Amino acid sequence: MSSGTSFKIFAKRAITPHYLGPLVLTIADGRIAKVDKLDNKKKPNLTDSKKIISLDDGYLAPGFVDIHAHGAVGYDTMCANISALSAITRFHLTGGTTSIVLSTVSASEQEITTVLNTVKGVAGRSLGGSRILGVHLEGPYLAPNKSGAHNKEQLRTPQRKEWQKYLKFHDIITQITIAPELDGAIPFIRCATEHGILMSIGHTDALEPTLKKAYDAGARHATHVFNAMGGMVKNGPFRIAGAIEFCLATDGLCCELIADGIHVPPTVMKLLFKAKSRDDICLITDAMAGAGMKAGTVFKAGGTSALSAIVTKDVAMTSDRTALSGSILTMIEAVKRAVTLCGVSIQDAVHMASLVPARQIRKDNDIGSIQPGKMADLVWFDDEFSIKGVWLGGDLLYLT
């Protein structure tokens, strides 16, 4: 059914932030006009079958919001062309992602600016797949000893002359990952925050005193916690908390999690779920161009300055297999593994994959939950976490 029409969806098990049970949604002009909660024992009287979709099995959830994804099916954000962005977002839609933030890698100023200009022309739109919300700059302001799969030759300290050019794109840059120990990082965090950009601690070896300065300057997010992030160190007889401990202990600092059980082992994933509330954990894919590709496929994890990577059975790695190179996750798989590996409730896992990321980038007025007035972005999946249908703005874009 088209977003230009009015219709209803009955779901026996619908997920909202504070409810899991039967609902009837009224969809009009691409938005959720009304949400009616039903008695579990009574099925609604749905008389006009032409305008009603009845979902008697599976779960109906808000569309997932992936705020950290680099690519898929052989394409990368750094390709910076419409056909690549279309392919990436079409793939991620099949994993339940209705809104996506495209992430860069550490690259030259020219390459990054090309990405920003390309995305600026399509921001807020769907190219047949997930709605493109904007860009996440992951790099180039990262610590060399925590570079992960980033090209060390492209890492640098934040220079005002460069980052002022990026801030001209503040309307489409949703977040920036930065190592706060770098010279010039704290003033940059403060200025970017004032421009409405979410500043994220990541790829860092900073210790608590510096991390506290970053937090005070406005940093409220942590990029793929536990990965490319230092921990507690000993200074003579004393110990100083590192980024891992700081992120776990600091209220109001939201932690991204690549929930594949490989980037972070299940026991450590459980530690995060115990340490932080569901409002301070954000599920992401960090998917690279290898997502959706066969094991053994070699790909470039970024643009012309990127490193070569390879797809394995469960993850992407640098070609020399010395480091992980993003994931091959979809958001529905991240939700599934949070539930099956760690015992997180379906309701909480969906919350961390939808409303939390939407809130972090200030889009929660429009997306992220099943509530009146929000976009009719919905995902229907079965008990085995297989996607059955995806609606974007009331349009059914994917059905299995």
Catalytic residues: 286
Burial 272-283, CB ≥16 within 10 A → b, else e: bbeebebebbbb
- The answer to whether 393 touches 98, Cβ cutoff 8 Å, is no
User: Rounded distance, CA 211 to CA 214, Å?
Assistant: 5
Assign 153 to helix, strand or coil. helix
- The answer to whether 354 touches 63, Cβ cutoff 8 Å, is yes
Lookup: tokens for 314: 């469960």
What's the maximum distance between 2 C-alpha atoms anywhere in the chain? 75
User: Rounded distance, CA 30 to CA 4, Å?
Assistant: 7
Phi, psi of 334 (to 5 degrees): -65, -45
Cα dihedral: 164, 169, 175, 181 (round 10): -10
Residues 6 or more apart whose CB falls under 8 angstroms from that of 85 comprise 75, 77, 79, 102, 118, 119, 122, 127, 132
Interstrand relation of 6-16 and 378-381 (parallel, antiparallel or unpaired): unpaired
- The answer to whether 310 touches 92, Cβ cutoff 8 Å, is no
- The answer to whether 148 touches 203, Cβ cutoff 8 Å, is yes
User: Rounded distance, CA 147 to CA 150, Å?
Assistant: 5
Residues 6 or more apart whose CB falls under 8 angstroms from that of 101 comprise 66, 67, 68, 69, 133, 134, 135, 136, 174, 175, 361
